[in-house]
């Protein structure tokens, strides 16, 4: 009797195991092939609209005290870049087992991107979070929700003898670079922003945007009638060709404005100009080599913010080839910075983004056939008017203070972690005239 019971139990167990395995297999097939698909094609998507309250204060992130401080900080912002854009680059460069520059970073985390008044941020508000450590409303630049100016990181580090640079592939007056220099109630006050830039202590301001320094009479877009380009020529050094980045010995301690295009760099409407326009790497190399000269002459360190502005525009435009071009431009810059940091261990390199743009999705070209290696990259925001999305973005860190760029960070925590990492003293500005 007892033996029969044991045999029955064993048989039942084997039966259940085999049955489960068969069901698992059939179940997967069933789900893939027979999942009820509502009317419409496989390309149609379901959407849900829910009201989300922002509520609550941002919880305080506990930062570790950093003993060995960073004397140099390179902050890369891939505007509109989240994990799917990085994954697309990795896949297109050499498949899933290849590695891109951010894969080399020893520390990484994720950044929540919402602004004071929106789940989906714009670049002005998120740039302000990074540069000042406060949440503000979309479109506000270096000011709080009441419009009061808040000291930004280049102003704070200036007091400790840092020389700063801002680099972008958009107009230099655009939201992200402007958030590190200017204070304005709106990112669209470009007349005011450009004046503040020319009066700032930032020693290298490199990107596009000549039109924003010229009056309408001269073919520019300034509404205040001020010919700022003449002022820049008189008070700073204006350069407009990438060849002028090569010989840094010709520059003293003056501010250098590199305005390499009328509007943004690599404008497809003006391909004839591309030959004069530098890459992110070329602008970075120039800024850091000049910074080293400032350090020789008494500065304590440098801060560089380099923005790959047009990753965002490729997302808005739902343009995969454009996206890959801009990701590669950033990739080259990051690689250069990594080599620099490996030789200079007081250098902190951060790569992050202000938000994702385009809702880039990576899936099999036929959703029923995962093993088909044709991969479909699709943008999931509106065609021709793609938008920013509300998902977190990654952050990668290498160098002193990197350990604080791990786990979940609010975008304002990035500012706090940068300041915790940065060398600070009371030596005062090393660049003011
Ligand atoms: Zn955008």
Give 317 Cα–ligand 1 centroid separation in angstroms.
10
294 DSSP assignment: H
Give 235 Cα–ligand 1 centroid separation in angstroms.
32
Give 358 Cα–ligand 1 centroid separation in angstroms.
9
Please check whether residue 339 lies inside any domain of the structure: yes
For 370, phi then psi, to 5°, come to: -60, -35
Please check whether residue 28 lies inside any domain of the structure: no
pTM of the model: 0.91
Q: What is the pLDDT of residue 272?
A: 87
Give 346 Cα–ligand 1 centroid separation in angstroms.
33
- Residue whose token pair is 């009797």: 1
Instruction: State how far Cα 361 lies from the chain centre.
Output: 19
CA distances in angstroms from 359 to 318, 392, 396, listed in the order given: 9, 12, 21
Give 375 Cα–ligand 1 centroid separation in angstroms.
25
Give 211 Cα–ligand 1 centroid separation in angstroms.
20
Give 316 Cα–ligand 1 centroid separation in angstroms.
7
- Rounded to 10°, the helix 123-132/411-421 angle is 30
Q: What is the pLDDT of residue 46?
A: 83
Q: pLDDT tens across 347-389, in order?
A: 999 999 999 999 999 999 998 899 999 999 999 998 777 899 9
Please check whether residue 37 lies inside any domain of the structure: no
Q: Which of 402, 355, 423, 314 is nearest to 127 (CA)?
A: 355
Q: What is the pLDDT of residue 25?
A: 57
Please check whether residue 58 lies inside any domain of the structure: no
Give 313 Cα–ligand 1 centroid separation in angstroms.
6
Please check whether residue 43 lies inside any domain of the structure: no
Please check whether residue 289 lies inside any domain of the structure: yes
Give 123 Cα–ligand 1 centroid separation in angstroms.
7
Please check whether residue 82 lies inside any domain of the structure: yes
Give 387 Cα–ligand 1 centroid separation in angstroms.
7
pLDDT below 70 — which residues of the chain?
1-2, 8-9, 12-38, 433
Domain assignment of residue 159, given as a range? 72-421
Give 269 Cα–ligand 1 centroid separation in angstroms.
20
Q: What is the pLDDT of residue 383?
A: 75
Give 124 Cα–ligand 1 centroid separation in angstroms.
10
Q: What is the pLDDT of residue 230?
A: 95
Sign for the pseudo-dihedral over CA of 96, 349, 292, 169: positive
Please check whether residue 42 lies inside any domain of the structure: no
Give 357 Cα–ligand 1 centroid separation in angstroms.
7
Q: How many folded domains does the chain comprise?
A: 1
Give 323 Cα–ligand 1 centroid separation in angstroms.
13
Query: Would you state the structure tokens that stand for residue 319, as one six-digit string?
Result: 């343009």
Burial of 176 (0-12, 13-18, 19+ CB in 10 A): buried
CA distances in angstroms from 263 to 153, 172, 220, 276, 356, listed in the order given: 26, 9, 10, 13, 23
Q: What is the pLDDT of residue 171?
A: 97
The CATH number given to whatever domain includes residue 339 is 3.40.720.10
């Amino acid at each position: 009797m007892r033996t029969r019971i044991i045999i029955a139990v064993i048989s039942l167990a084997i039966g259940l195991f085999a049955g489960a395995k068969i069901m698992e297999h059939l179940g997967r097939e069933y789900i893939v092939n027979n999942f009820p698909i509502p009317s419409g094609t496989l390309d149609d998507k379901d959407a849900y609209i829910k009201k989300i309250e922002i509520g609550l204060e941002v919880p305080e992130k506990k930062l570790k005290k950093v003993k060995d401080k960073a004397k140099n900080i390179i902050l890369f912002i891939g505007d509109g870049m989240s994990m799917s854009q990085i994954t697309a680059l990795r896949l297109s460069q050499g498949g899933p087992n290849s590695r891109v520059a951010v894969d080399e970073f020893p520390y990484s985390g994720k950044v929540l991107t919402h602004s004071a008044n929106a789940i989906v941020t714009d670049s002005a508000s998120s740039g302000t979070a990074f540069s000042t450590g406060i949440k503000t409303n979309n479109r506000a630049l270096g000011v709080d929700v009441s419009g009061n100016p808040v000291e930004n990181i280049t102003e704070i580090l200036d007091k400790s003898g840092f020389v700063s640079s801002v680099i972008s592939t958009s107009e230099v007056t655009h939201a992200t670079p402007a958030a590190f220099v200017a204070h304005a109630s709106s990112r669209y006050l470009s007349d005011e922003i450009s004046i503040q830039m020319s009066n700032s202590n930032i020693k290298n301001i490199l990107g596009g945007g000549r039109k924003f320094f010229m009056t309408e009479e001269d073919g520019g877009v300034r509404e205040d009638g001020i010919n700022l380009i003449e002022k820049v020529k008189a008070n700073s050094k204006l350069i407009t060709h990438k060849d002028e980045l090569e010989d840094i010995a010709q520059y003293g301690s003056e501010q250098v404005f590199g305005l390499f295009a009328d509007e943004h760099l690599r404008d497809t409407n003006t391909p004839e100009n591309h030959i004069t326009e530098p890459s992110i790497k070329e602008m970075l190399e120039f800024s850091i080599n000049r910074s080293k000269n400032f350090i020789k002459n008494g500065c304590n360190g440098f801060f560089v913010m380099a923005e790959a502005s047009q990753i965002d525009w490729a997302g808005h435009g739902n343009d995969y080839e454009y996206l890959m071009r801009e990701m590669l431009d950033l990739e080259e810059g990051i690689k250069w910075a990594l080599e620099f940091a490996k030789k200079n261990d007081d250098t902190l390199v951060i790569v992050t983004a202000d938000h994702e743009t385009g809702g880039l999705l990576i899936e099999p070209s036929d959703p029923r056939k995962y093993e088909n290696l044709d991969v479909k990259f699709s943008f999931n925001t509106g065609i021709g008017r793609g938008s920013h999305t509300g998902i977190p973005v990654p952050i990668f860190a290498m160098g002193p203070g990197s350990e604080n760029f791990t786990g979940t960070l609010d975008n304002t925590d990035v500012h706090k972690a940068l300041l915790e990492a940065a060398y600070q003293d009371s030596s005062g500005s090393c660049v003011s005239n």
